[in-house]
Amino acid sequence: MTDTQQASSSSHSAHASQPISPELRRWVAEQMAAGHSNTALRQSMRDAGWMQDAIDAALGPAAVAAAPAQPAAAAAPAEPRTKMPGPLLEGSPLYVDAGDRQVQVLLTMKHPRVVVFGDLLSDEECEGLIAGARERLARSLTVETKTGGEALNVDRTSDGMFFTRGESPLVQRVEERIARLLHWPVEFGEGLQILRYAPGAQYRPHYDYFDPAEPGTPTILRRGGQRLATLVIYLQEPGQGGGTTFPDVGLEVAPRRGTGVFFSYDRPDPSTRTLHGGAPVLAGEKWVATKWLREREFA
């Protein structure tokens, strides 16, 4: 995690007249001295729930003039994170330790950062997740960054549900394995999402991070910050179709049961090349579990 992410708000409910404490002024001065851009600091404060007037007071012309000289704020969309979820792949191992299981490394790509894992879940674990989800499926909702709420999305024609984190021994075991594999705390993960794609269903190409330009995004980020990475695990393979595609680089991952595709994005920006989609299922049913990893605790 970068040190630009510590602009803690004194209150979770953002308020129009939040006082600018001496601690906040000191934090701003330190961040500027460390070379972080005004843009990045504004984003960090927005992520922490500060209102625009408080941000302007802390980072407006007077504050900027009082701070030590810093490199010119570039028009860059966002600064990359330094600490990111992901497996340890130094020395190109064929297997990585996930605590209770050695997981196969089947493919790695640097840009976009993509890793395909084999033997991540057993057949019994895949079937157990499907059995637990089946009764609770409803037409999938996607987080609606325009409003901060959820809405039916025509781009996704699958059905889905979320397990609460740790809600059953199986869910907990899977989450702990993912945390070990990706070196990211269980508490920083969203609950596992289960999706079922019937024949013809697909998930059109999209980014999983929350678009900083959308008005609802600051509200969403107050709980856990940005998404940094995604792990899609295939629970049931369709008869045909249903691969996970990365159109920017012409990559398609086959939806083999027990296999998972991991990808990470160190900034919420298309330059990460993490545009991805679920290709139409041409025959049979495809089931997946998706784990999204956040910057901070997702409480």
Q: Cα(26)–Cα(30) distance, rounded to whole angstroms?
A: 6
d(CA 121, CA 14): 41
Residue placing its CB nearer to ligand PD2 in the complex, 79 or 237: 237
Q: Does 203 bind ligand PD2 (CB under 6 A)?
A: yes
Which of 209, 290, 291, 293: binder of ligand PD2 (CB under 6 A)? 290
Q: Is 208 in the site for ligand PD2 (CB under 6 A)?
A: yes
Which residue is at the shortest CB distance from Zn ion?
Answer: 208
Minimum distance between the CB of residue 232 and Zn ion, rounded to whole angstroms?
A: 7
**Interaction between residue 63 and ligand PD2 (CB under 6 A):** no
Name the 3-class secondary structure at 274: coil
Beta strands at 159-162 and 227-236: parallel, antiparallel or unpaired: unpaired
Interaction of residue 244 with ligand PD2, rule CB under 6 A: yes
Q: According to the binding rule CB under 5 A, does residue 202 interact with Zn ion?
A: no
Q: Per CB under 6 A, does 228 bind ligand PD2?
A: no
The residue range among 17-25, 77-85, 221-229, 270-278 that interacts with ligand PD2, by the rule CB under 6 A, is: 270-278
Classify residue 123 as exposed, middle or buried by CB count within 10 Å of its CB (0-12, 13-18, 19+).
Answer: exposed
CA distance to 83, 120, 192, 266, per residue, from 186 (Å): 16, 17, 11, 19
Tell me whether residue 49 or residue 238 sits nearer to Zn ion (CB atom).
238
Does 208 participate in binding Zn ion (rule CB under 5 A)?
yes
Q: Identify the DSSP state of 272.
A: G
Select from 233, 204, 254, 255 the least CA-distant residue to 130: 233
Residues that bind ligand PD2 (CB under 6 A): 195, 203, 208, 230, 232, 244, 276-278, 288, 290
